[in-house]
Amino acid sequence: MLIDIHVHCCRARDPRLTRPNDSRYPTPGELIAAMDAHGIDKALCMGTVSPACRYTVVPPEELLEIAAEHPDRLIPCCPVDPRWLTNSPKADFRPMLSAYKELGCRCIGEYIPNLPLDDPMNLNLFAQAAELGLPVTIHIAPRLGGCYGLVDEPGLPRLENVLRAFPELVLLGHSQPFWAEIAIMDDPESQRAGYPNGPVRPGRLVRLFREYPNLYGDLSAGSGFNAVSRDPEFGYAFLHEFQDRLLFGTDIANVPQELPIVGWFREAREQGWITPETHEKIAWRNADRLLGLGLDSD
């Protein structure tokens, strides 16, 4: 079993509705074909609803319809923006989130508002997500403006504020500024928005994983893959230490797209660099438990 914790898709759009580089999200059929080609059994489908630097909107309703057509393969998220409803930190998201959860959404994501991570509007939504038992996949950004994602500084102090304030809230960390913090950086301002290389001197993120059991790791995209593969000895030890809170992912979001983590993760098991138990947890058991899929009881 292999569950991908982070993919994107949408209905076919007009050919003019693409990114500036002409890339686009896959259609549901293209996504499933990519999953088949890489041995991925199920995938959690992310949407995008925040206005920051997105070329198309993929709302929860679209994801629910797509997942209903492929119930054995695709699992819907409910992407939301904390400025919805009243554009204030007093908005009551409970009825909306409860409805999406009852309709089948298993996670809030991808959560990308370009606001400070501990902005009052984010804190308001996080509190309600925790109350309803919905994990949140967060994309952290390096700055305010000119990009998408929650804003935090080097060292992720705002992320720690949220983890401390909401111990019942599961946050799945994702993106370059999140995973770059796995190592001490010589020049954080320039390195955190990219893919630092070389040996890893354990950084701030390792401490956050050790101190906050509600922090989970989304291993998708170049950022997650780079974090665990740039220094193999460290990477395998990291997978072992946090085997209960790391989740396999690809971040399929383009047509076509290379997925180097698939072969790397398979080889880690085949060569004995990680144990079968560690591989199984990261491959699907953690996702099954976190999303409440009930596969372990089948």
Query: In this structure, are residues 218 and 6 in contact, taking their beta carbons and an 8 Å threshold?
Result: yes
Q: What is the mean pLDDT of the chain?
A: 96
Helix (H) or strand (E) holding 234: helix 232-241
CA pair distance 129, 220, nearest whole angstrom: 22
For 75, the token pair is 């699992």
Residues 193-209: pLDDT tens digits? 999 999 999 999 999 99
The yes-or-no verdict on residue 239 having pLDDT over 90 is yes
Q: State pTM to two decimals.
A: 0.97
Report helix, strand or coil for 173.
strand
Q: Give the pLDDT of residue 21.
A: 82
What average pLDDT does the segment 91-105 reach? 98
pLDDT of 229? 98
The end-to-end CA distance of the chain, in Å, is 12
Q: CB neighbours of 30 closer than 8 A, spacing ≥ 6?
A: 9, 255
Q: Which domains does the chain have, with CATH numbers?
A: 46-245+257-278 (3.20.20)
Q: Round to whole Å and give the CA distance between 284 and 247.
A: 7
Segment 73-99 shows an average pLDDT of 98
Q: Which whole number is the average pLDDT over 257-278?
A: 97
In this prediction, residue 18 carries a pLDDT of: 83
Does the structure show a pLDDT above 80 at 140? yes
The average pLDDT across 214-240 equals 98
pLDDT reported for residue 87: 97
Say yes or no to pLDDT of 250 above 90.
yes
Give the number of other CB atoms < 10 A from CB of residue 17: 11
Q: Is the model's pLDDT at 4 over the cut of 90?
A: yes
Element holding 58 (H helix, E strand):
none
pLDDT at 70 over 70: yes
